[in-house]
Amino acid sequence: MSKFIMHRLLFMVVTLVIISILSFIIIQLPPGDYLTSYITQLRSMGTDVSDEQIEYLREQYGLDDPVYVQYFKWIGNFLTGDMGFSFSWNRPVNELVWERLGLTLVISISSLLFTWIVAFPIGIYTALRQNSLSDYFFTFLSFIGVATPNFLLALVLMYVSFKYFGINVGGLFSPEYADAAWGIGKITDLLQHLWIPVVVVGTAGTAGLVRIMRANLLDELGKPYVTTAKSKGIPNYKVILKYPVRIALNPFISTLGWQLPKLISGSTITAVVLSLPTTGPLLLDALKSQDMYLAGSFIMLLSVLTVIGTFISDILLALVDPRIRYV
Amino acid sequence: MAKENNQNGNYEDDIYAASQKELIWMRFKKHKLAMAAGIVLIIMYALAIFAPFFSAQDPHQRRVSYKEAPPHQLHFEDAEGNFSLRPMIYPYNKEVDMETFEDIYTEDESKPTPIKFFVEGFEYEVLGLFETDIHLFGTGDENRPVFIFGADSLGRDLFARIIYGARISLSIGLIGVAVSLFLGILIGGIGGYFGGKIDLFIQRMIELVRSIPQLPLWMGLSAALPSSWSAIQVYLAITIILSLMSWTSLARVVRGRFLSLREEEFVIAARLMGRSPLEIIFIHMLPSFLSHIIASLTLAIPGMILGETALSFLGIGLQAPVISWGVLLQKAQNLYTIANAPWLMLPGLFVIITVLAFNFLGDGIRDAADPYSK
């Protein structure tokens, strides 16, 4: 087991290094360097930038060094918590990202829980009632769920709730709590707004998981040990919940690895539509205004979250299923 | 050879004599949903290819007096209650609400305008071959246009824009999948054919790409495209960006198939007879899992279409005046617009139908291609 964990840990580090290179490439991609555009921007707003200041900034960001030195400077600063400076916000990047990253995490994890809680009973139900009307209904629903882009679902939900209930469902907080400090009131307010993005982000994953759960359970239900257990007089629900369901549960953990990247992606675009104070809208703004330090840091941090999540899910899976450990 | 008229008699003989292709086709035909999906897709692609013929108006033509006009209702009875099979529309009278300054469109029942078929309209080229001005339907009256899906904020025909947009949205899936296929067969094939350390390395590489959240990376890459690029260049670049992340599932399929086929007798025989690895891969191994590849390809297309839609929707993919479903949906981004003009969400319906159809079709092909299914 410890060998397995070491393997995964090593793999995680390699992944993170490659992701950091990718993020750095994205920072470097826009033509010219960001400092030049920043200085033009400052000058166009009438701020005077002296040559010493420019020299100082160039020095600080190592713009005159070769690319690989710039990379090491950037990643070195990144690791110590200095993520550079956001030119459009005129603030250090790390002041901007943490709260938003936290809220992104809250939405992603709640969506994951939502996915599990909804997919579990529906998966079992449709497998037990195979080819019934309700099975077809849920199958149809889950196909629609997979086919509908997140943002479209958000739009439709927004339209329906505005048109028929007269409420605007955007945002994560009511206006009076938006800038308030964290407390019981703010948390309850958050919970009241949270369900919409959670449903939107979680739907596609739920639909996929229902399909997998149903297929796995159907495979198990036909096996002789189920018949044996039934013939011994164990109540039906006990037979099903105790043995086949336990085996069919495996994908809940094994799909975690690719669910996480999808959840992070999904919450990014949903956040833009519903204007949530998470990473999505800020990342989009940063990319559009070529505020590359901010954008690169976001991409880096979101990927780090995903990779760590995948690592945890690998370990969990190995704990649950002994066969995995020796691959 | 299977004969159509032989079905009640010697059906069994047909199965034994049928080639692989015929077996797959026979199984596929039984999959009703997949057949229906196939027909839907054929219609979609026909609409896209012959978009000018099916659209009543030029998708770029702006009509100031039709800003955000709702879809025209088709009437089969005129104001006096006379029934006619030929549908007709009533042109709109536009008024401005003096309190909210919103446009209000009301139907003018005094001017029934019948819909004509195969009418003359704007000129266009068919497949670059010849010019014509015949359209499937329209009013034939330049001053009384018909908007069956309504108009956008600049008074352009939404239906025409949707089927013109299908050209981009539907082709980006195909081209993107072709690029992913190339990468997938190359990388997955190498891993599966050689096995061992190379395979291990490639598997880790696949895992690595899969563990990166797609959308933020797509966003980063496509936002970095130079703004001086032409529409075609952006289109190609977006396609490549989309494929860079999506080859992994194809590579997995190819690798798995290679691994299982590698030990088959016919491959060993070919190797013993001195065929080169490339010859073995392409002449002997590829045909035996081609159908699986086609199935995975079909299932990979929706991801591409959704990716393009998402990027363009966010405003960092394709840009107007290029028309794609994502670009069209960009107009439906805020609550105010969709509350006033909900028909602007219609391109999304086309996205859903197309993605569903590709999923059903892919499922059908996969079931049909599997020789072990009943």
Measured in degrees and rounded to the nearest 5, phi and psi for residue B157 equal: -70, 115
Which of A65-69, A230-234, B320-324 has the highest mean predicted lDDT (pLDDT)? A230-234
Total domain count for chain B? 2
A9 touches chain B (CB under 8 A): no
pLDDT at A327 over 70: no
Round to whole Å and give the CA distance between B348 and A155: 10
B78 and B185 both lie in a single domain: no
User: Please, what are the domains in chain A?
Assistant: 98-290 (1.10.3720.10)
| DSSP helix/strand/coil, B129 | coil
What is the model's pLDDT at position A66? 76
pLDDT digits (tens, 9 = 90+) for A82-128: 777 777 777 777 777 887 888 888 888 888 889 888 888 888 888 88
Q: Which runs of consecutive H residues, i.e. helices, occur in chain B?
A: 11-17, 20-30, 32-49, 51-54, 158-194, 196-210, 214-223, 231-262, 265-272, 277-279, 286-314, 325-329, 335-340, 346-369
B298 and B196 both lie in a single domain: yes
What is the model's pLDDT at position B336? 75
What is the model's pLDDT at position A48? 67
E strand residue ranges, B82-154: 83-89, 92-96, 103-107, 113-114, 116-126, 130-138
Domain boundary among B93, B114, B146: B146
B119 and B251 both lie in a single domain: no
Contacts with B217 from chain A: Cβ below 8 Å: 22, 26, 299, 303
Nearest of B224, B187, B177 to residue B358 by alpha carbon: B177
Greater pLDDT, A74 or B178 = B178
B216 and B125 both lie in a single domain: no
Q: Per the structure block, which two tokens stand in for A75?
A: 């990643």
Please judge whether A298 and B216 are an interchain contact, meaning their C-beta atoms are less than 8 angstroms apart: yes
pLDDT at A249 over 70: yes
* Segment A155-174 mean pLDDT: 75
* Segment A165-189 mean pLDDT: 71
Supply the range of the domain harboring residue B254: 160-369
Is residue B21 domain-resident?
Answer: no
Residue type at B127? Answer: L
How open is the CA angle B140-B141-B147, to the nearest 5 degrees?
A: 85
Residue type at B199? Answer: D
Is residue B374 domain-resident?
Answer: no
Identify the CATH number of the domain in which residue B215 sits: 1.10.3720.10
Element housing A145 (H / E): helix A133-147
Contacts with B223 from chain A: Cβ below 8 Å: 287-288, 290, 295
Please judge whether B352 and A152 are an interchain contact, meaning their C-beta atoms are less than 8 angstroms apart: yes
Please judge whether B226 and A31 are an interchain contact, meaning their C-beta atoms are less than 8 angstroms apart: yes
B134 and B253 both lie in a single domain: no
B338 touches chain A (CB under 8 A): yes
* Segment A68-79 mean pLDDT: 80
B259 and B342 both lie in a single domain: yes
B165 and B280 both lie in a single domain: yes
List the single residue in A11, A144, A149 with the smallest CB-CB distance to B351.
A149
Interface list for A 54-73 with B (CB within 8 A): none
Round to whole Å and give the CA distance between B202 and B195: 10
What is the model's pLDDT at position B7? 47
Is residue B108 domain-resident?
Answer: yes
B107 and B216 both lie in a single domain: no
CA separation, residue A179 to residues A176, A268, B162, B211 (Å)? 7, 22, 42, 34
Round to whole Å and give the CA distance between A282 and A47: 25
B312 and B188 both lie in a single domain: yes
B219 touches chain A (CB under 8 A): yes
Domain boundary among B146, B173, B195: B146
Q: Does residue B126 contact residue B136 with C-beta atoms inside 8 Å?
A: no
Round to whole Å and give the CA distance between B294 and B290: 6
DSSP A249-264: THHHHHTHHHHHHHHH
* Helical pair A2-28 and A292-320, crossing angle rounded to 10 deg: 160
What sign has the CA pseudo-torsion A5, A6, A11, A16? positive
What is the model's pLDDT at position B39? 92
Contacts with B208 from chain A: Cβ below 8 Å: 11, 14-15, 18
Secondary structure (H, E, C), A15-83: HHHHHHHHHHHHHHCCCCCHHHHHHHHHHHCCCCCCHHHHHHHHHHHCCCCCHHHHHHHHHHHHHCCCC
Is residue B31 domain-resident?
Answer: no
B237 touches chain A (CB under 8 A): no
Q: What percent of chain A has pLDDT over 90?
A: 0
Contacts with A269 from chain B: Cβ below 8 Å: 215, 310, 313-314
pLDDT at A29 over 60: yes
B223 and B278 both lie in a single domain: yes
What is the model's pLDDT at position A326? 56
How many other CB atoms sit within 10 Å of the CB of residue A43? 11
Please judge whether B216 and A155 are an interchain contact, meaning their C-beta atoms are less than 8 angstroms apart: no
| DSSP helix/strand/coil, B212 | coil
Nearest of A321, A125, A130 to residue A241 by alpha carbon: A125
B117 and B196 both lie in a single domain: no
Residue type at B296? Answer: S
Round to whole Å and give the CA distance between A316 and A324: 10
What is the model's pLDDT at position A31? 63
* Segment A192-206 mean pLDDT: 83
Is residue B244 domain-resident?
Answer: yes
What is the reported pTM? 0.80
A269 touches chain B (CB under 8 A): yes
Is residue B14 domain-resident?
Answer: no
Interface list for A 245-264 with B (CB within 8 A): 257-258, 260-262, 264
Contacts with B330 from chain A: Cβ below 8 Å: none
Range of weakest confidence among A5-19, A56-70, A125-139, B29-43: A56-70
B133 and B248 both lie in a single domain: no
pLDDT at A228 over 80: yes
A154 touches chain B (CB under 8 A): no
ipTM over 0.85: no
Smallest CA–CA separation between B370 and chain A, in Å? 17
Segments of chain B with pLDDT less than 50: 1-9, 373-374
Question: Chains A, B: CB contacts under 8 A, how many?
Answer: 132
pLDDT at A55 over 60: yes
Domain boundary among B86, B114, B146: B146
* Segment A130-147 mean pLDDT: 83
Is residue B207 domain-resident?
Answer: yes
Smallest CA–CA separation between A207 and chain B, in Å? 13
Round to whole Å and give the CA distance between B299 and B249: 10
Q: Per the structure block, which two tokens stand in for B371?
A: 């020789």
Mean of all residue pLDDT scores within chain A: 79
A288 touches chain B (CB under 8 A): yes
Is residue B104 domain-resident?
Answer: yes
> Tell me, what DSSP letter sits at residue A277?
S
